[in-house]
Amino acid sequence: MRKAIVTGGAGFIGSHMVDYLIKKNYSVIIIDNLTGGHLKNLRHLKKKKIKIIKKDIRNLDIKDKVFKGTKYLFHFAGIGDIVPSIERPKDYMEVNVIGTINMLELARFHKIKKFVYAASSSCYGLAETPTSETHIIDPKYPYALSKYQGEQAVFHWSKLYKLKADSVCIFNAYGPRVRTTGAYGAVFGVFFKQILSKKPLTVVGDGSQKRDFIYVTDVAKAFYHVAKLKSSGNRFNVGAGNPIKILKLVKILNSKYEFIPKRPGEPDITFANIKKIKKYTKWRPSISFKDGVNEMLKSINNWKDAPLWNKKTIKKATSTWFKYLK
């Protein structure tokens, strides 16, 4: 069988990447330290041909023969969330930059055919929209900076060492298994737990802000299409190209809500210009926002163990955000 490596393969997007590769008849190696990702994301794959290496991406043996003969390496592993990155910037630089460099070296040593990096649209900052790949880079917090610097390492290895490598810049990915950590973050995890607890949804600002939500299976397909390209050193934006108001999400969820203060350093709109990836590949977003949300609602009980947030706890959790980004 053809072989692929997925770092962060037990996490949100990574686990869907694994699903897609298995459907494409790949043997998959997952590299994950299982702190951000969760084994429950992989329970449905018990009988499939996957190998899980429980290690930190900074501490891999470059000569490990398990990587020999790998065709594609999809690099999702890293640490996310805005506030923790402001509080612990060194950790983010070490994992998201040095960890990426270690994976690039592993790919170079084993002559892997293609390295595809998961970049973040947060590198664009408060960008003009629709945002193209050539837009000015303006990271507002260490997470965004670390993801951008990791991407720059990818391009450097591509240019200097002739490693076939591209970057996929993800906008607002959502879908089953979306991350819910102890940190205040992703809107779906917050809202779903509030619905389960019969609490009002906490809507930031007046809810008129828009986000370019892209369903996670569409993201996985985009990565695969980019992997098949013979190109190297390219960034491809991946979004739906159709920004959605947060109040539209609230309407679909049909729940009571209340407003909380708008946060500094957050864009009023994210909007991916996806002309480039559509030009280079046959990829197109295929899941509508309403269909994607309704699919998630079928398994809403998966968020029963997510942290429950309210006005008071959100204010406390985001105090660092307001301190440094105001």
Angle, alpha carbons 294-296-299 (nearest 5°):
115
**Segment 218-227, tens digit of pLDDT:** 999 999 999 9
- Section 64-82 average pLDDT: 94
Domains assigned to the chain = 2-173+213-238 (3.40.50.720), 180-212+241-269+288-325 (3.90.25.10)
Strands 172-174 and 165-170: unpaired
Please give the model's pTM, rounded to 2 decimal places: 0.96
Structure tokens at 124: 């664009």
312 has a pLDDT exceeding 90: yes
Residue 45: per-residue pLDDT? 74
Residue that is written with structure tokens 């408060």 in the block: 126
Going by pLDDT thresholds of 50, 70 and 90, the confidence category of residue 47 is low
134-155 average pLDDT score: 97
- For residue 278, the model assigns a pLDDT of 98
Distances (CA, A) of 246 to 60, 151, 188, 237, 266: 41, 29, 11, 21, 14
The string of pLDDT tens digits covering residues 261-292 is: 999 989 999 999 999 999 999 999 999 999 99
Beta strands in the chain, from DSSP E residues, in sequence order: 2-7, 26-31, 50-53, 72-75, 114-120, 165-170, 172-174, 201-204, 210-211, 213-215, 235-238, 244-245, 257-260
- Catalytic residue ranges: 143
What are the CA-CA distances from residue 118 to residues 5, 105, 190, 286, 316 (Å)? Answer: 13, 17, 24, 20, 30
pLDDT at 37: 58
* DSSP single-letter state for residue 300: G
C-alpha neighbours within 13 Å on the C-beta side of residue 277: 30
